[in-house]
Copies of this chain bind each other. A is one copy, B any other.
Amino acid sequence: MNYLLKITYDGKNYHGWQIQENALTVQEVFQKALNKILNAEYEIKGCSRTDSGVHANEYYVNVKTERNIPPHRLKAALNGNLPSDVAILDSRTVDEEFHARYNCIGKQYIYKIWNSEVKNPFLDGYALHYRWHIDEDLLDKAAKHFEGKHDFTSFCTLDQRKQENMTRTVYSAGVTRNGDMIIFKIEADGFLYNMVRIMTGTLLRVAQGKFAPDDIPGIISARSRKKAGPTAPACGLYLNKVSYKKEDLCEPE
């Protein structure tokens, strides 16, 4: 069977998704639980890496195995064996060819900024604390310039993906406020390394008056990491939604 599992995790205590030597990752604790249940070989594919400290409201992984367990049983068994900061939200079987990363057609990230003079004790590791007042309308105006198909080299950590195609299509980008919480939400067909965090750092430069919203198109077209703002910390970043074609998510015949 090829199982597709929808996961959510609090990334505060993990070095991202992907397994590493000498650092605890979500994949490691997930596989530990899986090993107990499957007791058989399997192939596993996550929909994305994610950096150390980044959270996931929604993350997908597929697991190919010879074992045949009803999906709801696999979900319950995994939830019974996972630590309290990782949970399985959904489990289904998909086509043998389905690959959580290659079949993905879009992702949505949010970045949370606690915008108050005083830090919020409940948000340490869960939002960036920014103490000076942010004009969310100004940031929203700036974020709208990210929309469309662009070469996002300026918003990618240098030398990481030199050979790759740096063009991505941003379906929507915007900034809203809910009380003292500022949320930057962005959806695209894919993201370059650190793209959302560099965009957030650039939006904060707009908040500081160092960039105007209309400077964004020039920063994009410069194709130079140096033109954009700094990389915002990982703690505020959440993988929020992952999209697949509807027909891919149907149980196979």
Once the chains bind, are A118 and B88 in contact (CB under 8 Å)? yes
Once the chains bind, are B9 and A87 in contact (CB under 8 Å)? no
| Complex Cα spacing A119 to B87, Å | 7
Closest to A84 in B: B124
| Complex Cα spacing A86 to B123, Å | 11
| Complex Cα spacing A122 to B119, Å | 18
Interface residues on A, range: 10 to 19
Main secondary structure of the interface of A (DSSP, over half): mixed
Q: Is A89 in contact with chain B by the CB < 8 A criterion? A: yes
Contacts known (A79-B119, A119-B79); A124 close to B85, Cβ less than 8 A: yes
Which residues of the other chain, B, contact A10 by a CB distance below 8 angstroms?
A: 121-122, 124
Once the chains bind, are A8 and B121 in contact (CB under 8 Å)? yes
Give A1-26 as 1s and 0s: 1 = Cβ < 8 Å from B's Cβ atoms.
Answer: 00000001110000000000000000
Q: Is A126 in contact with chain B by the CB < 8 A criterion? A: yes
Ordered by A's residue number, 15 sampled pairs between the chains whose C-beta atoms are within 8 Å are: A8-B120, A8-B121, A10-B122, A10-B124, A79-B118, A84-B119, A84-B121, A84-B124, A86-B121, A87-B118, A87-B120, A87-B121, A88-B118, A89-B118, A122-B126
A residues touching B (Cβ–Cβ < 8 Å)? Answer: 8-10, 55, 79, 84-89, 118-122, 124, 126
A84-B121, A85-B121, A87-B120 known; 15 new pairs, CB 8 Å cut-off, are A8-B120, A8-B121, A9-B121, A10-B122, A10-B124, A55-B122, A79-B118, A79-B119, A84-B119, A84-B124, A86-B121, A87-B121, A88-B118, A89-B118, A122-B126
